[in-house]
């Protein structure tokens, strides 16, 4: 049996809600999972056209500067209509099923299941471990959570290599420590070192070199790559 690459797998978030990349959206998978509506949150891929399947598309790039917020309510409402109103099954995808589509899943979970952003992320990540909304989308998600519940479960912090949501602090700290201690990275010593309690980042010994210039968007991508490299193929 041919093994499917993680990015091309379809993740079941709820009984009637799925998340995937563009490459996973084909007639075979549509029939297999009983998909009745496909929501494409992607500018660079064509609109899905499969017989007897409703297709919705919004043209958004995976850039921190993009205003995905404008589509939050519209797409969350559409998912709700498909699942509750039509008793159908909805698949949300973008190019890789990591940032844009994952963000819309989080919005739906917050709005209709009344989940905090932190809990919505934890649930979605448990189903698709390499989801990673870009930092611009995180800021918009945080603003949306504030609008819904008048409080926040996630905040943006300065990691020393750019802004990140605080739920990624430990991951980024581990990445920076590994860069600064390459001879110990992956060893038992490193594991014990990282298991010790640590103050909030940034801290002097974990900071990048003073003259190093790192674009926050590329640093954020690096944290995703580190996460995905550890995901079993």
DSSP track, 92-133:
EE-SSSSSHHHHHHHHHHHHHH---HHHHHHHHHHHSTT---
Query: Where does a domain end: 89, 108, 137?
Result: 137
User: What integer is the mean pLDDT of 9-30?
Assistant: 96
Query: Where does a domain end: 81, 102, 137?
Result: 137
Say whether both 95 and 33 belong to one domain.
yes
Which CATH number characterizes residue 65's domain? 3.90.190.10
Say whether both 108 and 174 belong to one domain.
no
- 15, part of any domain: yes
pLDDT of residue 195: 53
Say whether both 124 and 186 belong to one domain.
no
90 catalytic residue (yes or no):
no
pLDDT of residue 196: 53
Q: CA-CA distances (angstroms) from residue 224 to 70, 95, 219? A: 25, 15, 9
- 151, part of any domain: no
Q: Going by C-beta distance under 8 Å and a sequence separation of 6 or more, which residues neighbour residue 46?
A: none
Query: Where does a domain end: 103, 137, 171?
Result: 137
- 64, part of any domain: yes
Of the two residues 189 and 122, the one the predictor is more confident about is: 122
Say whether both 133 and 160 belong to one domain.
no
Say whether both 100 and 180 belong to one domain.
no
Overall domain count for the chain: 2
Strand order, beta sheet including 54-58: 11-14, 17-20, 90-93, 37-41, 54-58
Q: Choosing from 37, 42, 90, 94, which is the catalytic residue?
A: 94
> Residues 19-29: pLDDT tens digits?
999 999 999 99
pLDDT of residue 45: 94
Does the structure show a pLDDT above 70 at 203? no
| DSSP one-letter string for 188-233 | HHHHHHHHS--PSSP-GGGSPPTT----HHHHHHHHHHHHHHTS--
Domain housing 162: 156-229
Does the structure show a pLDDT above 50 at 61? yes
Of the two residues 31 and 230, the one the predictor is more confident about is: 31
pLDDT of residue 173: 77
Say whether both 110 and 171 belong to one domain.
no
> Residues 144-200: pLDDT tens digits?
999 999 999 999 999 877 899 999 988 887 777 666 676 665 554 455 554 555 444
Say whether both 173 and 100 belong to one domain.
no
Does the structure show a pLDDT above 50 at 213? no
Percent of the chain, pLDDT > 90?
66
Does the structure show a pLDDT above 50 at 226? no
pLDDT of residue 157: 95
């Amino acid at each position: 049996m041919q093994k499917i690459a993680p990015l091309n797998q379809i993740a079941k978030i709820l009984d009637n809600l799925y998340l995937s990349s563009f490459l996973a959206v084909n007639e075979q998978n549509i029939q297999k999972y009983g998909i009745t509506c496909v929501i494409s949150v992607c500018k660079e891929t064509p609109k899905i056209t499969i017989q007897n399947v409703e297709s919705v598309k919004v043209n958004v790039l995976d850039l921190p500067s993009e205003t995905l917020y404008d589509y939050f309510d519209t797409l969350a409402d559409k998912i709700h209509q498909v699942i509750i109103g039509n008793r159908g099954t909805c698949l949300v995808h973008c190019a890789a099923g990591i940032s844009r589509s994952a963000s819309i899943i989080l919005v739906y979970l917050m709005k209709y299941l009344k989940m905090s952003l932190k809990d919505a992320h934890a649930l979605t990540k448990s189903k698709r471990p390499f989801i990673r909304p870009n930092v611009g989308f995180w800021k918009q998600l945080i603003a949306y959570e504030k609008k819904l519940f008048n409080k926040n479960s996630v905040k943006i912090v300065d990691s020393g290599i750019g802004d990140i949501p605080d739920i990624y602090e430990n991951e980024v700290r581990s990445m920076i420590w590994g860069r600064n201690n390459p001879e110990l990275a992956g060893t038992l010593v490193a594991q014990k070192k990282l298991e010790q309690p640590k103050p909030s980042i940034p801290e002097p010994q974990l900071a990048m070199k003073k003259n190093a210039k790192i674009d926050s968007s590329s640093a954020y991508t690096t944290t995703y790559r580190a996460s995905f490299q550890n995901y079993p193929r």
